[in-house]
Structure 1
Amino acid sequence: MNFEKIAQYNYLFFENQVIEQEVNKNNSFFETILNRGEFLKEGKIIFDDPMDMEAVRTPYDLCLAHLLESPNGDPEWCYMVSRNGYLVDLGILFAYTKDEVYFELWKKLLFTFIDWQEKSPHVWRSLDVGLRLNNWMKSFVYFSDLEHRLSANEKKQLKEAVLKQIIFLKDHFPTKNYLSNWGVLAVTGILATSQLLPGLVSSEVEKWGWTTLTEAFKLQFFDDGIHWEQSPLYHHQVLMCAWQLWLNSIYLALPFSQEIEHILRRGIQSSIYYCDQKYYLLPLHDSDAVDFTYVYNLYSLSGFLEIEIEQNPGVFYVGNKIKRQKRKPLPSLFRTGESGFLAYKDSNVYLTLFNGRHGSGHGHASLGSLTFTYQGNTIITDPGRYTYQEKSLRVHLKEEFSHSSLIIDEIPLTRITSSWTYESMAEPLYHRSIENKEQVIFEVGWKGRFNGKLVIFKRKIIYFKLFTVLIIVNTSECIGDHFLTTRYQLDEKIIPELDGRGIYLTGSPFVLQHSTESMPSINDKIGSKKYNEKNSYKELTFQQKFQDELLSYEYLYPKGKILIEKIDCYQNNQTNFCPDIFYFGLRLTHLAGKYSNEYYHSARDTYLGDKLYLSECGRLLYGKDKLYVKR
């Protein structure tokens, strides 16, 4: 085995670092790694890194016999252990403390695992083998003289273990893995090995690896940079494995595919819309609402993003070699494309709406579901995933009942039969997002069937920037007599209080108001901000009867700062006000300022009588949306 590249990498990685300064500047983050190291010293392990796909904050004995049967009953624990991510922690701790105990523990755990790995089937999933090789290679970089720290027998043992895993990954790559995060995580393990240990991977396998990764990347990312599985956590997992190859190529002066780098850059830039102002991850589909600051920081330190983070915890993974060029900040509005993920984020508001294809089994029944965060504090949320085991809560958190969307007669359009299987699925029809000086507008539609009847939903969200007001307009169509339920899943810190038609969202500065005919209720719900953990929260629902079609709306506004009034409209040459579905208006008045907006909405075209409408205050109206601004 040739360790020259590893020594070169280590030298350049630490060349521009003053270790004590980096630790002091990022002490709180470094403490979390130290804490995991202390557990490892005691023979225990926890999984509390934000990138841990199946987190477990409860410490368990790091006994390899547990890989035969999980200590907490969840086989995901076994898979997490088999990825050997703890070796990267020990490498960092050794490099930044110079405490030999961490190297000795690193070596002990590495070779104990190698000796034991044939005994458990949980060790040999291609996903985990690829991540294991990735983690081995990353951990090697933190030891400048690794070649001299290993005996000849240990080098032989390590070489045999690496080659066995490379052969396994090459021989166990089904065609379906081109369209799977498994495929990317597996093949990047091979390529990382070829970069750090030249000559160990044959040229034929290396060429296959780069070709396969290129094809997988081209296939798996939509034109707007969103990963097809539509899960922020797995989006980052795929990006991070490819990013590590890119980083290796920078330190080792190796060529890197421009095609992969282009997709990688676009994916990283789109990921900034997957977190709030405090860099907490959006828990869309199978993701957790966890602090991703260090991940976004390492993207920034490596020049892929232009963001300001007070501390730089990503330095422990990136080093200081890369000179960053000043880049233009990304726009507040996400330029959505094929994915159907819509987002807007400025310094105050983070708003998302999902209306894309379901993606993989990690997808939830969340068409038309929105989230809303104000100044880094979540108001309307997604309740998470909890577990991958076949449990009722797992299935419930995937259902339409657990998302901030619409449902008719309490019969879901996407029907879930188990943790990974489905009986039926709703279909997205269209999505659109625009921004102008006054507003941000999201517009989506989707359809499905129940009891042989076609259901069509249309949802429009209008955000008024100057007022910090959201108006959510819903159009529901289904032949016959039905009732609509509109759901809002509230963050656990938000306590709703009913007061007439207004619901005070205590714990936030907002009031949520609903159209006159809707009947509100508050329900107790269980969610999961992080895998294996539960939290209680409140759900707001609004129910309304209708025949054939219905227009309903809600609006969210800052309490005591904004006055919102209904404006009735009528068709030209008619004396009675028309139904809201043809035209209605809302007047927004800023109580502290001398300005107001009048917004008018039409959900249906007119084929009987005049197409011209008027508001009760004399506005002439035609078209889907009209906005009048008064300063």
Structure 2
Amino acid sequence: MYVGVEETDFLKKMSWKLCGKETRELLFRAKEACQNRFVFTHPWDMERCEEPVSFSNKIDWTYRLNEDEEWTFMLNRHRFMAEIGQSYLLTGEEEFVHHWKRLFYDWVLANQDPTIHPLTYRKIDAGIRLVNWLKGHSYISSSANWSKEDDALFYKQLKEHGEYLSRLFTPFDFQSNWGFIETNGLLQSAFMMEKSMKNEWLNAAISRLEKMIELQIPDDGYQNEQSPMYHHEVLFCLIEITIVLQRNRISVPCFVNAAVDRMLTASFGFMKPNGHQPMLGDSDDTDVRGVLAIGAVLLKRSDLFDLSNHQIGLDFLWYFGEEGLKIYSSLTEELPQDCSVSFQQAGVTVMRNGWSHKDDYLLFDHGILGQVNKGHGHDDTLHLELMTDGREFLVDGGRYTYCETQEREYFKAANRHNTVTVDGLSPSIYKGTWEWEQCPRPIDSFVRFHERYDYSQSSHTGFWRLPSPVHVTRRVFYRKSLYWFVIDSFESNGTHNYEQHFHFPEHTQLEWNDRNELFTTYKEGTNIKILPLAFSKEDQLELKKGLISRHYNQLASAPHAMLQYKNRKQFAAPFIIVPSQAGEDVSLRVKSLPVSSIKERKEADSDVLAFHIQMGDVEDLIICSLTGSDSFIADQYQVCGEVILISNREDGSSIEVIR
């Protein structure tokens, strides 16, 4: 998988030159593992843990830190075996060979007891372990201290693992990231087998890949569990499979190339301006630009090169070696033509005005909780995330743990996301860390992109289950580079409390003034102001201390603002978000306007809304019918449609019927 020992000089030099911090961290983890101390801090560790765990004598391969089995699974995935092998190449120190063998033999001996296999030998972990063994072995085996007896045991373990993965593939695996992870291990280990078994495993792996890609990677490229974390786990598997096949002079199937291509496009499509993935659906706050750099070389795509921002990581260097760095350096910069992205199958819309780290970014999640068993899904339908001028404002809270704890339920619930609740209830019913009941069905989703605005809307069925059902719709309008205008509408014959939730990053200072404005108070850079346009003295704002988890096992305090509209029936709750520079008061005027039908009958505010918005020299009139397309008169304009924008221009007014 990694380039061979013939590139030792290049890897030694460029790992330190281009990835010094990552190289130091790799050597630290490898040396810790050699002393039976384990930390899981690799950027792509699925369940990170910075707390070191030490074993004084023999390693307990079933140990659970804080009763969390995920720690045990991480231990048995053996990333440290790949890193010990890399450390041997970087330093030439034979101690690394000694400890690689010791740890390998220790694990093999312990697993002669099949009763520990539920914790040490799951299929997903076996697939990951195989890949890490192969990476480490490619360097350790060059040592004079690696014997024929060592090779024989290594081969025996590869064969046992491969037979296990070949035999026990299930229908669930076709629909899960597990299937790709298992298949990656099976395919890579096939090249260490005799010809008949090699061909058998390769054929099985390729056949599974074709089916899994068809089932899991839709046209929009966003893996069907709809978690950026596991999207990238699957993408890494396909990247490694592509590299291994190419290195062994085997033609890469066209369906694999196509899947890698569209998954990489999806990766930068939902990537935030800071280069990180959003923390949707059990994802961590991980930088994805290194993945784009790998994709740029693999597919020779200039857009991936440009968006990677020269974030070359160790995996890049060790996958491609000197030739890969030459290819990367030869690529030209070319940003994607379209800034905003609609993931139609996933139900995610991303609105942008550019690709720089300073540009605007709004993510609107209006899809289902995720396919398969919805285990990685959070109750985040209609959730928003917002960045502008290089600063995060509205964020997802992350995941923190997979244990069945209060924290697990807290981070998955709707009120932990920037969405709406009714009477304090989530749209879905939480049943356990991997299980939901009565999940909402998104309906009436619509997206439109324009050079001056983006618009998206969606409804869901999550509150239809109430004794007095509520139909919720969120409409999101982005007036590019100026403001975001959101209308939440609630259709019901009963009386309810309706809540809007806003979650901010750590250390954000929030204030609420007597003009009913919620705003951040950074002393430098950009702030935002949120103006609820239907808030009354009977309603309530709560500023709370919430929690955020940027990585598994990490917790921090972060502010949570909740607007509660009390005792309402049919109701619309619009709000506008505007950015401003610290110390400056944004020039904004928002005025609600009356709307009448063409028969001069005044429409109720719950049916049709019209707002005049003025920012500096820009004046907009937004008319929104909450009951479908019709004809209206507002501010002397007679228009027909459901959502209409009337804006001033130097050559006169412009009318856009958005929907």
The aligned residue for residue 456 of structure 2 is: 442
Tell me the secondary structure at the aligned position of residue 191 of structure 2.
Answer: helix
- 3-state SS, counterpart of residue 191 of structure 1: helix
Matched, 1:597 2:620: yes
One-letter amino acid of the counterpart of residue 587, structure 1 = I
**Contact kept? 1:570, 1:614, Cα under 8 Å:** yes
Determine which of 428, 437, 442 is the counterpart of 2:442: 428
Show the counterpart of 1:410: 424
Q: How does 1:612-627 map to 2 (within 5 A)?
A: 612-615=632-635, 618-623=636-641, 624-627=643-646
Q: Equivalent residue of 2:495, what SS?
A: strand
- Quick check: 2:8–2:89 contact (8 Å CA) kept in 1? no
- C-alpha offsets along residues 347-387 of structure 1, whole Å, 9 cap, x if unaligned? 21221111222223110111101111224421111111111
- Bigger CA drift: 131-140 or 215-224? 131-140
Per the alignment, residue 322 of structure 2 pairs with 320
Picking from 170, 173, 177, the partner of 1:174 is 170
Asked if the contact 1:39/1:45 (under 8 Å) is kept, the reply is yes
Whole-Å separation in 2 of the counterparts to 1:587 and 1:71: 55
Which amino acid in 2 is paired with 1:88? A
**Is 2:11–2:90's contact at 8 Å kept on the other side of the alignment?**
no
Residue 135 of structure 1 corresponds to which residue in structure 2? 132
For residues 370-408 of structure 1, the C-alpha deviation after alignment (integer angstroms, 9 at most, x for no partner) is 111224421111111111111011012111121111111
The aligned amino acid for 2:97 is F
Query: What corresponds to 1:511 in structure 2?
Result: 529
Q: Provide the residue aligned with 1:77 in structure 2.
A: 71
SS for the counterpart of 2:608 is: coil
Query: How does 1:245-260 map onto structure 2 within 5 Å?
Result: 245-260=241-256
1:35–1:496 Cα change, 3 Å: same
Determine the structure 1 residue equivalent to 2:656.
none
Q: Cα gap change, 1:612/1:68 in structure 2, threshold over 3 Å: closer, same or farther?
A: closer
Change (3 A) 1:46 1:317: farther
Is structure 2 residue 83 aligned with structure 1 residue 89?
yes
1:473 to 471, 476, 487: 487
1:481: Cα distance to partner? 1.3
- Are the counterparts in 2 of residues 526 and 537 from structure 1 also a CA contact under 8 Å? yes
Taking the aligned partners of 1:495 and 1:196, their CA distance within structure 2 comes to 57
Q: Note if 1:355 corresponds to 2:366.
A: yes
How far 1:276 sits from its partner (Å)? Answer: 1.6
Distance 1:606 1:169 in 2: 55
% identical aligned pairs:
19
Question: Quick one: distance in 1 between partners of 2:276 and 2:257?
Answer: 25
| 2:64/2:72 contact within 8 Å kept | yes
Q: Tell me the distance in 2 between the aligned counterparts of 1:369 and 1:528.
A: 17
Alpha-carbon separation, structure 1, partners of 2:512 and 2:310? 40
Q: Which amino acid aligns with 2:448?
A: I
User: 1:527 matched to which residue of 2?
Assistant: 548
Long gaps (5+) in structure 1? 1-5
Q: 1:14: how far off?
A: 5.8
**What secondary structure sits across from 1:94 in the alignment?**
helix
1:541 match? 562
Matches of residues 8-87 of structure 1 in structure 2 within 5 Å? 9-10=3-4, 17=10, 19-61=12-54, 65-87=59-81
Q: Which amino acid aligns with 2:67?
A: G
Mapped contact 2:610–2:634 kept (Cα < 8 A): no
User: Cα distance, 1:166 vs. partner?
Assistant: 0.9
More displaced stretch, 68-77 vs 384-393: 68-77
Unaligned segments of structure 2, at least 5 residues: 651-659
Alpha-carbon distance in 1 for matches of 2:629, 2:248: 66
Q: Deviations over 1:314-344 (max 9, x none)?
A: 3244423343555853331124221112213
SS class of match (2:322)? coil
From the superposition, tell whether residues 309 and 141 of structure 1 become closer, same or farther in structure 2 (CA, over 3 Å).
farther
Q: CA deviation at 1:575?
A: 8.2
Contact 1:416 1:422 (8 Å CA) reproduced: yes
Deviation of the 1:546 alpha carbon: 5.6
- 2:130 matched to 1:109? no
* AA in 1 matched with 2:309: I
Deviation by residue 1:577-601 (Cα, 9 ceiling, x = unmatched)? 75253131131312xxx44333332
CA 1:265 to 1:311, structure 2 compared with 1: closer, same or farther past 3 Å?
Answer: closer
* CA shift in 2, pair 1:230/1:597, >3 Å: same
Q: Tell me if structure 2 keeps the 8 A contact 1:368–1:459.
A: yes
With the length of structure 1 as denominator, give the TM-score of the two structures: 0.91
Residue 190 of structure 1 contacts residue 201 of structure 1 at CA under 8 Å; is this kept in 2? Answer: no
Task: Give TM-score scaled by structure 2 length.
Answer: 0.87
Using the alignment, how far apart are the partners of 1:274 and 1:48 within structure 2? 24
CA distance in 2, matches of 1:92, 1:189: 19
Kindly report structure 1 stretches of 4+ aligned residues shifted beyond 6 Å: none
Deviation at 1:296, TM superposition (A): 3.4
Corresponding residue for residue 653 of structure 2: none
Could you tell me how far apart the structure 1 residues matched to 2:82 and 2:566 are? Answer: 57
Matches within 5 A, 1:210-229: 210-229=206-225
Match of 2:413 among 387, 395, 399: 399
Q: What's the counterpart of residue 204 of structure 2?
A: 208
Q: 1:185 Cα deviation (Å)?
A: 0.8
2:154 aligned with 1:162:
no
Q: Size of the alignment, in residue pairs?
A: 614
CA distance in 2, matches of 1:478, 1:369: 21
The 1-side partners of 2:603 and 2:147 are apart by 88
Preserved CA contact (<8 Å) 1:439 1:462: yes
* Distance of aligned partners of 1:570 and 1:294 in 2 relative to their CA distance in 1, 3 Å threshold: closer
SS, match of residue 118 in structure 1:
coil
CA contact (8 A) 1:588 1:597 kept: yes
1:99 equivalent in alignment to 2:93: yes
Q: Aligned AA for 1:352?
A: L
Who is 2:123 aligned against?
126
Q: State the match for 2:576 in structure 1.
A: 555
Q: Cα–Cα, structure 1 residues 329 and 431, in superposed 2: closer, same or farther, change >3 Å?
A: farther
Counterpart pick for 2:611 among 561, 585, 600? 585
Deviations 1:14-62 (A, max 9, x none): 69x3632441222122222122233224321111112111111111125
Q: CA deviation at 1:81?
A: 0.9
Contact 1:279 1:296 in 2 (8 A): no
Query: 2:512 aligns to what?
Result: 498
Q: Is the 8 A contact 1:562 1:589 kept in 2?
A: yes
> How far apart in 2 are the matches of 1:605 and 1:79?
52
Q: 1:442, CA displacement in angstroms?
A: 2.0
State the secondary structure of the residue aligned to 1:114: helix
Q: Equivalents in 1 of 2:96, 2:13: separation in Å?
A: 17
Q: Is the 8 A contact 1:137 1:196 kept in 2?
A: no
SS at match of 2:188: helix
1:344 aligns with 2:347: no
Change in CA separation of 1:137 and 1:398 when aligned onto 2, cut-off 3 Å: same
Q: How far off its partner does 1:285 sit?
A: 1.0
What is the Cα-based RMSD across aligned positions, in Å? 2.5
CA contact (8 A) 2:267 2:288 kept: no
Residues 143 and 296 of structure 1: is their aligned pair in 2 closer, same or farther, counting only changes over 3 Å?
farther
- What per-residue deviation string (whole Å, max 9, x for no partner) do you get for residues 169-196 of structure 1? 1222122211111111112101011235
Report Cα offsets for 1:150-207 as digits up to 9, x if no partner. 2111111111111111111122212221111111111210101123556383422321
- Are the aligned partners of 1:568 and 1:577 in contact in 2 as well (CA < 8 Å)? no
Cα 1:136/1:432, change in 2 over 3 Å: farther
Look up the match of 1:195: 191
AA aligned to 2:627 is R
- Name the CA distance, whole Å, in 1 between partners of 2:296 and 2:8: 18
How many Å apart are 1:133 and its aligned residue? 0.8
TM-fit CA distance, 1:149: 5.1
Contact 2:184 2:237 survives alignment (8 Å): yes
Deviation at 1:109, TM superposition (A): 2.2
Do the aligned partners of 2:618 and 2:647 also contact (CA within 8 Å) in 1?
no
